[in-house]
């Protein structure tokens, strides 16, 4: 299995879905690292919104037109990687800590296209589930969450503390509801199937497409 090749193939397949005139949300991570040059090579007339400073920098260096999210009222398509992709469409994202912004940008798009290599599909979603927590009341939030560990990582660009939930996942919908309802949780990395339009997974020399 050549993981880097699989990432590149899935990213190139996603870049092929983008059309002239679109406003495109750009995710974060190493698979998106292959998407950006593939998009730039197509020389389309598109505008982009980035989910992280890292993606913004890389996109600008490649000559892509990156706009502030707040001046864009609708995204045609968002393309992003994932850490886990379940058969029922639930995703785990946030290995790179950008999940809060990534969820907002995915939710703002008409189509959310997920890209990844063949290690990403899983039978069952498992911990860790990435979290972004408010710094105020952090100890209380962690006690309420149960098994969760703060990452040794810089804060998010929005000042959030990055952490991971390490308890049982069980039903992702129920855990997602509980995490969202926990005071102090700014965002979490469980993405529901309703957000996802299609999934492009590199497998060896080809790309499996799930809608």
Provide the annotated active-site residues: 102
Nearer to ligand 5RP, 45 or 106 (CB): 106
**3-state SS assignment for residue 113:** strand
Burial of 24 (0-12, 13-18, 19+ CB in 10 A): buried
- In sign, the C-alpha dihedral spanning 191, 104, 138, 182 is negative
Judged by CB under 6 A, the residue of 8, 24, 29, 161 near ligand 5RP is 29
In angstroms, what is the minimal distance from the CB of 138 to ligand 5RP? 20
Judged by CB under 6 A, the residue of 6, 12, 80, 164 near ligand 5RP is 80
Contact between 25 and ligand 5RP by CB under 6 A: the answer reads no
Contact between 28 and ligand 5RP by CB under 6 A: the answer reads yes
The order of strands in the sheet holding 84-85 is 84-85, 91-92, 190-191
Farthest-apart Cα atoms in the chain, separation: 50
In angstroms, what is the minimal distance from the CB of 60 to ligand 5RP? 19
Is the link from the previous residue into 128 a cis peptide, with omega within 30 of 0? yes
Contact between 100 and ligand 5RP by CB under 6 A: the answer reads no
Nearer to ligand 5RP, 132 or 142 (CB): 132
Could you tell me if 55 and 32 are in contact, meaning their C-beta atoms sit under 8 angstroms apart? yes
Contact between 96 and ligand 5RP by CB under 6 A: the answer reads yes
Judged by CB under 6 A, the residue of 6, 12, 22, 31 near ligand 5RP is 31
Helix boundaries (H) for the chain: 3-15, 32-42, 53-61, 99-107, 138-145, 172-181
Contact between 93 and ligand 5RP by CB under 6 A: the answer reads yes
In angstroms, what is the minimal distance from the CB of 75 to ligand 5RP? 17
Could you tell me if 141 and 185 are in contact, meaning their C-beta atoms sit under 8 angstroms apart? yes
In angstroms, what is the minimal distance from the CB of 29 to ligand 5RP? 3
List residues near ligand 5RP by CB under 6 A. Answer: 27-31, 80-83, 93-99, 102
């Amino acid at each position: 299995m050549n993981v880097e090749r699989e990432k590149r193939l899935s990213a190139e397949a996603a870049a092929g879905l983008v059309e002239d005139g679109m406003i495109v949300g750009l995710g974060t991570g190493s698979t998106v690292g292959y998407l950006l040059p593939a998009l730039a090579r197509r020389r389309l007339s598109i505008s982009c919104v980035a989910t992280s400073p890292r993606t913004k920098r890389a996109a600008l260096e490649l000559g892509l037109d990156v706009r502030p999210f707040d001046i864009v009222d609708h995204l045609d398509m968002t393309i992003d990687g994932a850490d886990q992709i379940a058969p029922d469409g639930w995703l785990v994202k946030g290995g790179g800590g950008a999940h809060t912004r990534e969820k907002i940008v995915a939710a703002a798009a008409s189509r959310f296209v997920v890209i990844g290599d063949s290690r990403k599909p899983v039978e069952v979603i498992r911990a860790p589930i990435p979290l972004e927590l408010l710094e105020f009341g952090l100890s209380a939030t962690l006690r309420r969450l149960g098994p969760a560990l703060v990452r040794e990582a810089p804060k998010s660009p929005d000042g959030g503390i990055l952490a991971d939930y390490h308890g049982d996942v069980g039903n992702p919908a129920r855990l997602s509801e509980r995490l969202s309802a926990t005071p102090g949780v700014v965002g979490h990395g469980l993405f529901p199937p309703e957000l996802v339009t299609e999934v492009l997974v590199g497998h060896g020399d080809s790309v499996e497409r799930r809608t």
